[in-house]
Chain A
Amino acid sequence: MNQNILAVERLSKFFEVGGRLFRKPARVQAVADVSFTIGKRTSLGLVGESGCGKSTLARCLLRLVEPDAGRIVFEGQDLTDLDRASMRAVRRLAQIIFQDPYASLNPRRTVRQTLAEPLRVHGTVQEKDVDSRIEAALEEVGLAADFASRYPHEFSGGQRQRIGIARALILQPSLIVADEPVSALDVSVQAQVLKLLERLRERRGLSLLFVSHDLGVVRHVCDRVAVMYLGRIVEEGPVPEIFDRPLHPYTRVLRAASPVPDPRARFALPRVVGEIPSAMNPPTGCAFHPRCPNAMPRCSQEAPALTEMGGGRKVACFLVQAATAGTPS
């Protein structure tokens, strides 16, 4: 009995950058040997800073970006070598919501046209039922049925994101991949959309991969979280544990630098050293070692593997692994 809706094994993605006549393009590894699973009806948060590969990874899962190596198993089916037609059938069950609700809706189509397209492409609904399905979908995301005849420019950012969610849900998928779905919204509207996602997840028993740079949002939405740095997962585990007791030095830095609305929690602002290195020229060994306050000689030579630490946690760090190896957990 398989309890996972999605299993990703050793996924990698390279991009070629630059390069012209007589000059070889540089090869950038955006996703490096990433493995994780998402349990049925659970949500996994994917956090990290810009350029860490979290969005590329999200797109690889639906093969919107073709991965170069690794396996993706969705609902027991290996997606890696599926042809286009079979992949289309899979996409009915795994839908994506994008960050920018302004860019991801066609401005020349009414909401009805936007929502009808997936239904017609996948042919899951008879023509006579299309309108009622659209009405139901709009109602489910908290929009009035008569909005169907309007165009995207007539809506606010929050309403557009609701339309994006309705479009993803109309095919009744089992997995939603949400790429920074609330980052472009004001706080008060962001809370509305998060609450909507929460309600839909409960009602429909959806599984969710939630990509975000905002640890607060992830804490609220997700059961588990994976922290990415330069294409690799450096730490993974249950949300409260990871954010309350981060183990990996990068997770600690990320957590300490995430602002909390409480001046009593004001510490001397963290003196984080250095910038995120370029993925074109990643550091040797552990990619975080040039910024790590406790780096050992070994850290610049070998890349640590993501290792089980007990309690459902995994960490890729020699220091943490060495510290816990002696003490029983």
Chain B
Amino acid sequence: MTDAVLEIRKLAVEFHSGGQWHAAVRGIDLSIAQNETLAVVGESGSGKSMTALSVMGLVPTPAGRIAPESSIKLHGRELVGLPEHELDRIRGNRVAMIFQEPMTALNPTMTVGAQVAESLRVHRGFNGAQASAEALKMLDLVKVPSAGKRMKDYPHQFSGGMRQRVMIAMALACHPKLLLADEPTTALDVTIQAQVLSLIEDLKTEYGLAVMFITHNLGVVALIADRVAVMYAGEIVEAALAPDLFARPRHPYTQALLASIPRVDRDLKMLEPIQGNVPTIGNLGAGCGFASRCTHAQVRCHRERPQLMPDGPARAVRCWLVGPPP
């Protein structure tokens, strides 16, 4: 794929603990095209947030590091190993990120308008008046009601949903090509979540964005994703087009995850929990990361680590039990 906005190969992120390096992200391959939403779904500790932070060059040092064999290309340009001042130019300009809790990402002592304007001055070299005018345009675009008046308010005067809109306005102020959204609606009520999701969807189309949408919620994935990568214990275990993934999950973890969700649209006789807990990063054996909780695990699964293998034209699965497609 040459038209990929983001192309990640063999991404590994390691953390230092107890005198050893442990891999939190273990060999991620993924790409996102323009106008495409890739949902990265996983439970806590699956490495999904760390994957996004790696793209931003925000892996916390010195405790963590991106392993040298990793490659993260943005429009063909390698980001791994770039000096900090060059990464600074890319962050905000080409790549923007929004987070779960906008209150911790916004400066409580600055008005909302000033914060949006600041990113325009820094990244696009606008003067004060230009920046305020553009900030107003952006706040209108993300549908903050009476934006002209509300620009002069502080973040604490905004509701959670409105704060997330402000974050999105800041993220898009410099017309990035790639938006990294890390659980942006998790802290919001469902009706507000629906508003923010449709806003992201509209803006994706308008700006031709590539969106990496990180979430633990498969319901949200079903609403917004074009493609899905399911992560478990630092690896992608299954990647597929969204309709295929939900219609015919292939990896035992994806299947188990779907069977463990209580649904509002139908009565389930049985909820099938996944036994046990997610393994900690220092605690992974030689085999498949999911083997200890997998009901289908065989001897080989505990001994050898499976690779992510193609399974049809638009799907890949990391499991010894999934053979070539019929």
**Which residues of A are interface residues toward B (Cβ below 8 A)?**
49-50, 156, 158, 186-192, 194-195, 198, 213-221, 240, 243, 253-266, 268-272, 275-276
Contact = CB atoms under 8 A, between A and B. Distances in A.
B257 A188 contact: yes
B246 A220 contact: no
Interface in B250-268: 256-258, 260-265, 267-268
A243 B268 CA distance: 14
A264 B222 CA distance: 8
Interface of B: 43-44, 159, 161-162, 189-195, 197-198, 201, 216-223, 225, 242-243, 246-247, 256-258, 260-265, 267-268, 271-275, 277-278
Contact of A269 (B219, B223, B271): B223
Contact of A49 (B190, B218, B258, B263): B190
Contacts of B278: 186, 188
Contacts of B201: 269
B264 A191 contact: no
A108 B222 CA distance: 43
A261 B256 CA distance: 13
Nearest to A268: B198
A270 B192 CA distance: 10
Contact of A254 (B190, B242, B247): B190
8 contacts: A188-B273, A189-B273, A191-B274, A216-B263, A219-B262, A259-B222, A265-B265, A270-B194
Given A49-B191, A191-B262, 8 more contacts: A49-B189, A158-B277, A188-B257, A191-B273, A195-B271, A263-B242, A271-B198, A272-B191
Nearest to B253: A188
B267 A219 contact: yes
Contact of A190 (B219, B221, B260, B265): B260
A27 B261 CA distance: 40
Contacts of B258: 261
Contacts, number: 138
Given A49-B190, A49-B191, A275-B162, A260 B263 contact: yes
Contacts of A216: 219, 261-264
B256 A188 contact: yes
A258 B260 contact: no
A213 B188 CA distance: 11
B268 A220 contact: yes
**Which of B194, B197, B264: most chain A CB closer than 10 A?**
B264
B48 to A, nearest CB: 12
A261 B161 contact: no
B254 to A, nearest CB: 11
Contacts of A268: 198
Contacts of B260: 187-188, 190-191
Nearest to A275: B159
A257 B246 contact: no
B59 to A, nearest CB: 23
Contact of A188 (B43, B223, B243, B265): B43
Nearest to B215: A259
B272 A191 contact: yes
